[in-house]
Amino acid sequence: MFSLESFVNIKSVTDEIDLWNNMRSSMSIDGDLIHGVASALEPLREWFNTLEMPTWSQAGEFIDQVMESLDRVWKAEGRGSQV
Amino acid sequence: MPQSPITSFILCTHRYPEKRMRHLLDIMSSAVGRSVQRELRVIGIWEKTFATVRPELILGLRLCESWCKACEELIILWKDNTKGHSWVGFDYKDEFMLLLVRRLQEIITLRQTREELSRLLTGEFDRENVQKQMQNVRSGTMVGSLGKHFAGIDPLLCSHHTDAAWSSSRVAMQA
């Protein structure tokens, strides 16, 4: 059973991206939250998959992308339910 | 109309938890730091001329600094109540990244100091060509001595466990 508070198996950024993507089909928790977080994190996959230091020209783009994605993750909101 | 505690409880929405975000920032910081370490390990920090390694070192340092700043800015943003989802814990600072920033600053300072020393030793009255040749020779020797001082120490391996060995080598070299 998935818990938002549990992240013991999350060892890499890709683990977290995969987890939220896989939950899209299971909908074990709030579907809106899952969709919001999964779509916000997906643009980061390519950056963290390569695990290479961005070149100077890419560094700004990388930081901006991470900030935008994390801000979207933080602001993602579920419909609300009885908890 | 004010909501009763029971209504508020029922309407509680799901949000990405702060503890989970802190963990995500940890693994992202670690990935960024490791990529900087990996790229800089192959440039020959002590072996190559300062002119060769400087741009790479500066790039690594700037990336780490920008990363730390970005994390700080996000937390400031989130502390300022983001539609009812505020960051309430202590500020986020990744210790590994802060250590890496400090280490890179120290490496750049060491290389820069050596470079300036070698220029001074070359003397001001040499003809331009002679000066360049001597500078290359002396610079190479001095850089070699830097490598000798830090033999057996990975300059990019930074943690509280490795800090003592690095610091004592640095102090011994500067003495």
Instruction: Measure CB to CB from residue B20 to each of A7, A30, A54 and give the nearest one.
Output: A7
8 A C-beta contact, residue B96 and residue B32: no
Contacts of A63 in chain B (CB under 8 A): 66-67, 70
B131: β partners: none
Query: What is the residue type of B11?
Result: L
Q: Which residue has the tokens 């930081």?
A: A63
Q: What is the pLDDT of residue B3?
A: 44
pLDDT at A30 over 70: yes
The answer to whether the predicted template modeling score (pTM) of the entire model surpasses 0.90 is no
pLDDT < 70 stretches in chain B: 1-13, 82, 123-145, 175
Which pLDDT tens digit goes with each residue over A33-65? 999 999 999 999 988 887 666 676 788 899 999
Q: Which residue has the higher pLDDT, B170 or A71?
A: A71
DSSP 8-state code for residue B48? S
User: Is A54 an 8 Å CB contact of chain B?
Assistant: yes
HSE-up (13 A, CA, CB side) for residue B106: 19
Contacts of A4 in chain B (CB under 8 A): 14, 16-17, 20
DSSP B132-157: HHHHHHHHHHHHHHHHHHTTT--TT-
**According to the model, what pLDDT value does residue B9 have?**
37
Cα separations in angstroms, A8 against A2, A27, A77, B52 = 11, 20, 23, 42
CA-CA distance, B138 to B132, in Å (whole number)? 10
